[in-house]
Structure 1
Amino acid sequence: MNTESSTDHFFEHPVLGHPSGLFVLFFTEMWERFSYYGMRALLVLFFTASIMDEGWGWPREHAMALFGTYTGLVYLSTMLGGYFADKKIGYRYAVAVGALLMTLGHACMALETQFFIYLGLTFLVFGSGFFKPNMTSIISEMYKNHEKKKDGAYTIFYMGVNAGAFLGILLCGYLGEKVGWSIGFGLAGIFMLFGLLQFWFSQNIFGDIGLKPTAESKAAQLQDDTDKRNPFSKWQLVLIAVSSLLGLAWLINSPASKISGGDFNIFDFEILGLGGNDFAILSALLIFIFLLIYRLTKYSKITRDKMIAIAFFSFLIIFFWAVFEQSPGTLTIFANDYTNRVLTGNASLTFLIVNTLVCVVPLVIINWVLLQLFKRTFRQYSLANIILSVSFVMIWAITLWMLINEWYQAGFLSLSDGFRESLMIEKNTTPLTEVPASWFGILNSLFIITFAPLFSRWWESKYNPTANMKYAIGLFLLGLGMACVAFGASGIEAGAKTASVSMIWLILVYLFHTLGELCISPVALSLVSKLSPARMIAFMFGVYYLAVAIGMKLAGIFGENVDKIANENGISYFFWMLTIISLVLAVFALVMQPVIKKLMHGVR
């Protein structure tokens, strides 16, 4: 924990106006997101691919059920990671433990057997729990007494998040679909290891931030907290345990009961007309809401108001992510089955030119940021910087190999047999370009990298909107994106299994969704850090990620029903439903602005 009263020393030798440590976290998070999104881009495709294509041949409902549980548990586990960091091991060790577990998880998944896939997902869940909340907690401590720069810092950090997502989806997705699933899963693990090593060998750049908590550091932290301590009583801990166990059992049972065909079902009963699954999750939610309301009455008015504001924004976050996270599920399925992805002639040439620019330009920008960090830190943290350099050499090599292969397969590039074989590129038989279904996922990250600096400037200007306005704009853009794909799919008949919709609709979806995400996700992280009591910062991030977890599972539940809705009313109807949800919540955020502004007590 940081026991210093000032953090001005972090700003003495800035990189792009921010502490060098922010960019160490930028690259650490980038490789973690590379591994997470790279693996995630393949997961649903791997589960639903036929056995002939070396997949598991699952129906979409089963794949979406497991995917929703996995992503939900990833964010739910952040509460456990936040607790251990706050009370036991500190932010730094939590990040390192999380990175190590995720490295092991990706290694397991590369083996592709049922046991190792499930074991790998388990490692990834716990690894993310230790890693995710504590990276943002380090930033919060670093920017203490520099509140005005926090929104910009989190937006830059979010740019690193999406740089990793961009590269992970691009390269892991391509290798997984074109070469082999295990190659894609394994590559994710390699770069997670790079992220771990880079962080470990440069951790001294954070000074006292994130060290294992001591009695002195806890006492110093309490001096900044004007609230009295409110420890949980035994009966509250019992209710927390009951609610947590019910929610966890439901998350695991939901996909397991479907995948096993009902052979495994721990909630195989009915109470008050409700099935066991429904009764379990409703009970867990009611217990949680009761505890939340009760706990809020135990804090001073200002702190209570701020925590109510966090709860309001967390409620909106649930539905934002439930709609937004259709990307790796229903939108990827839409790309795979309903979108014309085969290009020839001028269309193929145009795509290859655009794709080459899309791959190379962001890499050049990220390498320029890396160079700025080198200038400030290479002498003191040379080993960490060398590891970063090696990782980017590998990224450039894989990217260039991919581009050469695509240009050759499309018939626009000639290669001698010897050179082609040395690159392990298969002989060109039918010149054309087939855009991988996972490719569309990179658009979100690409647009983040493009627009994040503009939004960062906007948030730091005098035209910075209120929190509610940012949420309203973000939810409106989310709805606008879903309206695009709903309109594009309007010609697809109910029950149709394939179609050839233009790619432009998916491109527009990701554009509007990205702009909406920039209005909400990085701003939400900043708001939690500003509104939370000092001694509860990591725990409150855990509460925020609990809301995200619920949204992720809800996204999976939406996805489970896409086939049923598509067969009855057409897939366009499914996307129109999500459009309406988004627009209604945008109006709700706007209407609640006066109330929430009062509860925030001057925090912007």
Structure 2
Amino acid sequence: MSSDAPVGARPPAGRTFFGHPRALSTLFLTEMWERFSFYGMRAILVLYLTATVADGGLGIGESTANAVYGTYNAMVYLMALPGGWVADRLLGARRSVLWGGVVIAAGHYVMAVPTGWSVFAGMALIVLGTGLLKPNISTMVGDLYERDSPRRDAGFSIFYMGINLGAFIAPLITGFLGEKINWHLGFGAAAVGMTFGVAQYVLGRRNLGDAGARPADPLLGADRRRALTRAGAVTGVLLVVLLALLLTGWFTVNTVVNLLTAVTVLVTVGYFARILTDREISGTERRRMKAYVWLFVFAAAFWLIYDQAGSVLNIFAADRTDRNVAGFTFPASWLQSVNPILIIIGAPLAAWLWLRLGHRVSTPTKFAVGLVLNGLSFVLMAAAAQAAVGGDLVSPWWLVAVYAIQVAGELSLSPVGLSATTKLAPVKYASQMLGLWFLATAVGDAIGGQVARLAQNWSQSAYFLTFGLASVLLGVAAVMFTRQIRGMMAGIH
């Protein structure tokens, strides 16, 4: 989330929320329920796709299901780019968040319909809605404070807790309903959560003052008509491509997944090429962006492994772990709540550690630590998979340990990456760099979805060990080239 969002008018004075503007409670609860719906659905998505038709699922192979999951995550983060543009140039952040929440809720309700097609139609709506809501609600949090306010970082920290609180609670509810009763009932619970979020956002709008009420850089007159015409043309091209796929018989899940993966990578390459070839940025800014390219690659490699928690590791939890406690077999998706609770516990500790270390540990080194820890988590998973050879069920504590290592890696890389993004950004592209940071997750998830296809054909221990060691080696390489990357950062730590 951005700590350099444009500052709008202050919200009205009055009651506070933990000493912060009352409007923060509205945005906190909106984001909490949005993350409830997102992580609740995500926790059961792959399990539903791979469940047999007799068990109420779609019976899709694991490799395809993993690719669908990765591509879906990628699209959510990719759409943050046009979502931010719509808010900045057309609707304003406040209306973008509202319409985003409505579209997300509609998507979850569609997924609750017990038919085979509903899951894909629902995911498409959720992707569009999240693109509108996710980047812009963070912008509105920034609008509540003066740019140099000492309470600004604390406000974002409270907001961040809302994200993880929703992510923690969601799998416990949707997982039980989906795995124990009916998959579509689980999706319906996610829909109800987002509905709560939209309702309280509308009721709490009086607390927001003018924050996010207007576009930051509105398009007017001919410029607006030209932009809408271009958007219509792009939509038309997409519809033509879709029609062509339908007419040629190529409209399959795998075709769409592969196409969207390619689009994600090409958009990213084009974005970097545009910035690096821009003659209006200075030589120092260009050097810093070249350093950022390396950090971006490291981050994408991190998310490639990390976000398999909801796909490959989720399937392992369902098929290979002993989840029986006192005669009750708890849902595999409940283990998806481990990550957010560990983040809630670990985030303050990580903030304290980085504050104590100061500039003694550079940004590239922190990224390297994240990559090494992420790789070690998969090395541990290789041991767990080896213990499960022959059909033996292993303790779920294996996965808890894996998630603990991954969270330590995330806290070394993710918040540091957000900070580095704002510091290395060329002045001209300062407001767009958050979208570029989201692209790292999009690329990692898109490629990770394709990589995860291998999990069905390789032995699980070989799969985890191969990519775990690859991440460790990449982390070691990052350490070796730290001095060169810091040189390109031109004084930025």
CA distance in 1, matches of 2:40, 2:450: 22
TM-score w.r.t. the length of structure 2 is 0.83
Q: Distance in 2 between matches of 1:598 and 1:307?
A: 12
Determine helix, strand or coil for the equivalent of 1:550.
helix
The residue number in structure 2 matching 1:470 is: 366
CA shift, 1:169, in A, is 1.1
Paired position in structure 1 for 2:212: 210
DSSP 3-state at the match of 2:277: helix
Distance 2:454 2:441 in 1: 20
Matches within 5 A, 1:476-555: 476-493=372-389, 498-532=391-425, 536-555=429-448
Tell me: CA distance 1:41–1:3, structure 2 relative to 1, closer, same or farther (3 Å).
Answer: closer
After superposition, residues 326-475 of structure 1 pair within 5 angstroms as 326-343=308-325, 348=326, 432-461=327-356, 463=358, 465-475=361-371
Over 3 Å counting, the alpha-carbon distance change for 1:311 and 1:209 in structure 2 is: farther
SS of residue matched to 1:213: coil
> Which deviates more, 110-119 or 536-545?
536-545
What corresponds to 2:43 in structure 1? 41
Say which of 84, 103, 106 aligns to 2:105: 103
Secondary structure of 2:132's counterpart equals: helix
For residues 61-95 of structure 1, give each alpha carbon's deviation from its aligned partner in whole angstroms, at most 9, with x where no partner exists: 22122222211111111111011111111111111
CA pair 473-502 structure 1, distance change in 2 beyond 3 A: same
1:39 counterpart letter in structure 2: M
8 Å CA contact 2:68, 2:257 repeated in 1: no
* Aligned 8 A contact 1:96 1:131 in 2: yes
SS in 2 for 1:489: helix
State the shift of 1:324 in Å.
0.2
Q: 1:530 to 1:29 in 2, by over 3 A?
A: farther
Question: Which residue pairs with 1:320 in the alignment?
Answer: 302
Within 2, Cα distance between the matches of 1:457 and 1:21? 27
Q: Deviations over 1:497-549 (max 9, x none)?
A: x4312222111001111121122223333433444467745532222222211
Task: Give the conservation status (yes or no) of the 8 Å contact 2:40–2:174.
Answer: yes
Indicate which of 85, 88, 102 corresponds to 1:86.
88
The answer to whether 1:71 aligns with 2:73 is yes
8 Å contact kept, 1:321–1:548: yes
Cα drift, residue 112 of structure 1? 2.6
- SS of equivalent residue, structure 1 residue 572: helix
Q: What SS is found at the alignment partner of 2:95?
A: helix
* Inter-partner Cα distance in structure 2 for 1:181 and 1:32: 19
Q: Which moved more, 1:528-537 or 1:56-65?
A: 528-537
Q: Does 1:291 find its partner at 2:274?
A: yes
Provide Cα deviations, 1:189-245, integer angstroms capped at 9, x if missing partner: 111111122233334544443222267x99xxxxxxxxxxxxxxx9xx99xx79x97
Q: Is the 8 A contact 1:46 1:55 kept in 2?
A: yes
Q: Is the 8 A contact 1:86 1:538 kept in 2?
A: no
Q: How much does 1:457 deviate?
A: 3.5
59-68 or 123-132: bigger deviation: 59-68
Give the AA of the match of 2:410.
E
| Residue in structure 1 matched with residue 223 of structure 2 by the alignment | none
Helix, strand or coil at the partner of 1:114: coil
Q: Which residue of structure 2 lines up, in the alignment, with residue 137 of structure 1? A: 139
Q: Distance in 1 between matches of 2:141 and 2:421?
A: 12
Tell me the C-alpha RMSD between the 2 structures.
3.8
What SS does structure 2 have at the residue aligned with 1:586?
A: helix
**Greater radius of gyration (CA):** 1
Task: Give how far 1:318 is off.
Answer: 0.9
Q: Once the 2 structures are TM-superposed, how far is the Cα of residue 289 of structure 1 from its aligned partner?
A: 5.3
Shift of 1:19: 4.9
Q: Is the 8 A contact 2:304 2:445 kept in 1?
A: yes
Are the counterparts in 2 of residues 152 and 460 from structure 1 also a CA contact under 8 Å? no
Q: Partner letter of residue 486 of structure 1?
A: A
* Structure 2, gaps ≥5 residues long: 220-226
Q: Is the 8 A contact 2:300 2:444 kept in 1?
A: yes
Change (3 A) 1:194 1:524: farther
Quick one: distance in 1 between partners of 2:257 and 2:405? 41
The answer (yes or no) to whether the contact 1:78–1:128 under 8 Å persists in 2 is yes
Can you list the C-alpha shifts for 1:567-604, whole angstroms capped at 9, x where unaligned? Answer: xxxx1111112211221232233344444445555555
* Shift in alpha-carbon separation, 1:336–1:282, aligned structure 2, 3 A: closer
Assess, with a 3 A threshold, how the Cα gap between structure 1 residues 159 and 530 changes in structure 2: closer, same or farther: farther
Deviation at 1:446, TM superposition (A): 1.4
SS of alignment partner, residue 211 of structure 1? coil
The number of residues matched between the two structures is: 473
Query: Is the CA contact (8 Å cut-off) linking 1:156 and 1:452 kept in structure 2?
Result: no
Q: Out of 121, 124, 127, which is 2:129 matched to? A: 127
Q: Which residue of 2 aligns with 1:559?
A: 452
Letter in 1 for 2:340: S
Aligned equivalent of 1:410: none
Q: Is the CA contact (8 Å cut-off) linking 2:72 and 2:127 kept in structure 1? A: yes
**Contact 2:303–2:441 (8 Å) recurs in 1:** yes
1:361-385 Cα distance to aligned partner (Å, 9 max, x none): xxxxxxxxxxxxxxxxxxxxxxxxx
Q: How many angstroms does 1:337 deviate by?
A: 1.3
1:39-79 per-position Cα deviation (integer Å, ceiling 9, x unaligned):
01111111111111111111112212222221111111111
C-alpha distance in structure 1 between counterparts of 2:13 and 2:428, whole Å: 24
- Give the distance between the partners of 1:108 and 1:277, measured in 2 at CA: 22
8 A Cα contact 2:32 2:163, kept in partner: yes
Structure 1 stretch displaced more, 144-153 or 87-96: 144-153
Q: Which residue of 2 aligns with 1:418?
A: none
The residue aligned with 1:228 is: none
Q: Structure 1 residues 277 and 327 mapped into 2: Cα distance closer, same or farther (>3 Å)?
A: closer
| Shift of residue 445, structure 1, vs aligned partner | 1.1
Matched, 1:301 2:283: yes
Partners of 1:80 and 1:39 in 2: how far apart?
A: 23
Gaps of 5+ in 1: 219-233, 268-275, 349-431
Query: What whole-Å deviation, never above 9, does each CA across 1:80-138 have from its counterpart, x for those lacking one?
Result: 10111111111111111111100000011000313322221111010011111112223
Structure 1 SS opposite 2:458: helix
Per the alignment, residue 401 of structure 1 pairs with none
Q: What is the SS of the residue equivalent to 1:145?
A: coil
Partner Cα distance (2:314, 2:345) in 1 = 22
CA distance in 1 between counterparts of 2:198 and 2:114 reads 24
CA distance, structure 1, for counterparts of residue 376 and residue 474 of structure 2: 13
In the TM superposition, what are the counterparts of 1:150-299 in structure 2 within 5 Å?
A: 153-213=155-215, 259=252, 290-295=273-278, 297-299=279-281
Distance 1:2-1:555 versus aligned 2 partners, 3 A rule: closer
Letter in 2 for 1:184: G
